[in-house]
A and B are shown apart, each in its own frame.
Chain A
Amino acid sequence: MKEVKLVGVSKYFGSTVAVDNVSLEVNKGEFFTLLGPSGCGKTTTLRMIAGFEKPDKGRIYIGEVLVNDLPPEKRNIGFVFQNYALFPHMTVFENIAFPLKLKKYSESEIRRRVKELLSLVKLEGFENRYPRQLSGGQQQRVALARALAREPDVLLLDEPLSNLDALLRIELRRELKNIQRKTGVTAIYVTHDQDEAFSLSDRIAVMNKGRIEAVGSPDSVFNSPRTLFVARFLRYKNIFEVKVGKDTVELFGRQFPLKDFNVEVAEGKMYVAIRPDTLHVYTKPPEEIGGDYIVLEGKLVDKLFYGSETEIYVNVQGYELITLVSTSLANTLKVGDNLYLLVSKKDLKFLTP
C-alpha cells in the first residue's frame, strides 16, 4: 500500500474545466472518498490517478513516484468500475487469474491466490461460472477480487455500488469496508451518495465544479460545512441569506453580536444553515435557556408524516424553518399553533456563497 498525492492537478475537455487545480493527499491504508454530484470532476480525478486520463497541469504521485507519464499498467493500481467490466469470455477463475497470469505467477500460486480471493469476497464455488451467470452483486465481488489480485498499491473504486439495488448496496458497503480493513490497501472511492461516503470513509473530499470544497473526516465534513454548496449537497434544509455587519449579524429580523457565534466571517452577504435535527420544538417559551441558545418564535404552517417522525414547517418572521419531531408530538399540534424553536448558536453554520 502507498500514499497518493495530487498537486495542483487540472484537466480540460475542450473549453470545459473538468478538474480545477486540485491538491490532496491520501494516506497509506486510508479509505478516502471523493464525493460530489455528477459532473463535478470526481471520476475524472480518479481516472487521472489510474492513468486513463492525462492531467493538463499538476503532478500525481503514488508513493514517491511521479506517475504523470506512467501508463495505467505500470502504476500497480486496482480499478473497480461502475459496470463491473468483467471479461465476458472468461470464467470467474480466469477473470481473477488474469492479472496473476500477466505477472507470470506459477500455476499453483495462481490457484492458491484465486481461492484466497474468492474466499475474501465470499464467492467460493463460483470459479467456473461466467459473468453472465452471476447477479450484479456477485459480479461486483468478482471485480473487487480481480482488482485486489495483484496486490495493488492503491485501489480505485468508481461508484462500484451504484448499479445495485438499495438493500444489496448496504450489504456490500459493509463488506467493502471489511475487505479494505483486512487487506489494508489504500482506497480511493468515488460516489455521489453521501450515506455511502460517510459510512465507508476515513476522510472525504467534497467536489464541486472541478474543485475541492471541503476535506476532512466524515464527522467534520458533515457537522461543519463551510460553503453553501457543501451544505446544500449534504441536505441541510434550513439555509438562509444573512447580512453580516462589522460586529453583528442580522438573523430572523434580530441583531446578534458576531462574537457569540465564535466564527470568523467577512462583512457582507453570507448564508446560515441549520440542520432540522438541531432545532428543538417547544409549545411554550422555554425557561432558563442560557446565553448559548437562541429562541425563535413562529407559527406552524405544515406537517409531513414520515412514520415515527414528522417534519414540521414553522414560519419565523417570514422565514420557513423545517424541523423533525416525534409523530406523537406532531399529532398534538395544529396548523396555526404558536411554537418556539430552540437552537444552539454553535449549530448555526455560517457559509460562504
Chain B
Amino acid sequence: MKLSDALYVFSKIVSYITLFAIIAYIFLVSFVPVIGAFALKWEFSILPEVWTLNNIKFLLEDPFVLRSLYSSLLIASITSVVSVTIYLLVIMFLFLRERSRWVHTFVEVSVLIPLMLPAILIALAIYEVYRPTMLGGTYWILVFAHLTIVSPYVFRNLYSVARMIDMKTLIEAARSLGAGVLTATYRVILPNIYHGLIGAMLLAFAVSFGDFEMANLLAPWQYRTVTIAIFQYFFKNAWNASAIILLVIIVSVLTSFLVAYLSRKALARYVEVVR
C-alpha cells in the first residue's frame, strides 16, 4: 500500500471515530436524564444500579410539576402563535407595502437585537416596563419577554420563505383574479410559506418552553414554568428532575407533531379546489 493510500484510509477512520464520538456524546447528554428517570441508585456504573418507576409516579402525583408543565405549555403556545401572527403581518407589510430597502434593513437588524443582549438584561427591562402596569404579576409579562427573545428566529424563518415565493406578485395575481387580500393570504400565501410558518412556530415554542432565565425572574408564583420545576427538584432529588425532563421531551415531540398535523389540516381546507 502506498503512503498516500494509507494516509487516506487513516484520515477516513479518524473522521468516522470523531463523528461517532460527537453523536455518542449528544446521545449521552440527551439520554442520561431519560435513563435517570428510571433510576433509584446510579453512582459508579454505566447504567443505573437500581431501577424504579417511582420517579414517574412522582411526576403524575406532584401537583407542582403538572401545574408547571401546564404553565410552560400555555406560555409557549401563546408566544408561538402571537409571535408568528405578528411577524407574518410585519413581513406582509414589508413585502406588500414597503419599497424602501432601508426600512427592510432596519427591521432585519432590529429584530436581531435580542440575540446580542443577555437574556437577564431583557428580563430586567421587561420587568421594569411592565411591573407598574396591569400586566405586572401575571404570566403575560413572561409572554412579552418571550415574544422579544423569539423574534429573531420567527422573523428570519418567515422572511426567508417570503423572499423565496415572491409574495407581492402572488398576492397581486390572486387579487387580479378576484380574491380579496384575506382570501389571497389564506389560499395562496399561507400554503406556500407553510413550512416556514411551522418552523417558526416550533422554534418559538421551543425557545419559550426551554427558557429558564426569564421565567425565573418574571414568572408569577402560580405560573412557575417547568424549567423552574426542574431546577428546584434537581437539588432535592436529581432522578425526580430527570423524570420531569423525560416528560418535557415527550411533550415537546408530541407538540411538534400536533402543530404540524393541525396546521396542515387547517391549511388543507383553504387550498381545496374542485378537481
Contact with B along A66-93 (1 / 0, CB 8 A): 0000011100111101010111111001
Contact call B273/A71, Cβ cutoff below 8 A:
no
Contact indicator B172/A110 (Cβ below 8 Å): no
Pick out which of these stretches binds chain A: B38-46, B139-147, B162-170.
B162-170
- Given A94-B273, A107-B274, answer yes or no on A73-B178 (Cβ-Cβ < 8 Å): yes
**A103 and B274 alpha carbons, distance in the complex (Å):** 13
Interface residues of B in 176-198 (CB under 8 A from A): 176-180, 183, 187-188, 191-192
User: Knowing A90-B271, A97-B273, A98-B273 touch, does A79 contact B188 (C-beta < 8 A)?
Assistant: no
Q: Does B265 contact A (CB under 8 A)?
A: no
CB contacts under 8 Å to B, within A35-73, are: 50-52, 71-73
Please tell me if the beta carbons of A85 and B191 are within 8 angstroms of each other in the complex: no
B191 touches A89 (CB 8 A): yes
By a CB distance below 8 angstroms, the chain A residues around B166 are 83, 85
When A and B form their complex, what is the total count of cross-chain residue pairs whose Cβ atoms lie within 8 Å? 77
**Residue A275 at the chain B interface, CB threshold 8 Å:** no
B24 within 8 A of A: no
Kindly list chain A residues whose C-beta atoms are within 8 Å of the C-beta of B180: 71, 73
- Are B273's CB and A85's CB within 8 A? no
B274 touches A101 (CB 8 A): yes
Residues A89 and B271 in contact, CB atoms below 8 Å apart? yes
Whether the Cβ atoms of B175 and A110 lie closer than 8 Å is: no
Taken together as a complex, chains A and B put the C-alpha atoms of A83 and B165 apart, in Å, by 12
Residues of the A chain whose Cβ atoms lie less than 8 Å from the Cβ of B59: none
Chain B 149-179 residues near chain A, CB threshold 8 A: 165-166, 169-170, 172-179
B2: Cβ under 8 A from any A Cβ: no
Instruction: Check if B99 is an interface residue, CB within 8 A of chain A.
Output: yes
Kindly state the separation between the CA atoms of A73 and B177 in the bound complex, as whole angstroms: 6
Contact B178 A85 (CB under 8 A): no
A73, A87, A94, A156: which contacts B170 (Cβ < 8 A)?
A: A87
CB pair A98 B174 closer than 8 Å: yes
Give me 29 A-to-B residue pairs in the complex whose CB atoms sit less than 8 angstroms apart, sorted by A's number. A52-B172, A71-B175, A72-B172, A73-B175, A73-B176, A73-B177, A73-B178, A76-B178, A81-B172, A81-B173, A83-B169, A85-B170, A85-B173, A86-B173, A87-B173, A87-B188, A87-B192, A89-B191, A89-B192, A89-B271, A93-B273, A94-B273, A97-B274, A98-B179, A99-B177, A101-B273, A102-B178, A103-B178, A150-B177
Binding site for B on A (CB under 8 A): 13, 50-52, 71-73, 76-79, 81, 83, 85-90, 93-94, 97-99, 101-103, 107, 110-111, 146-147, 149-150, 156
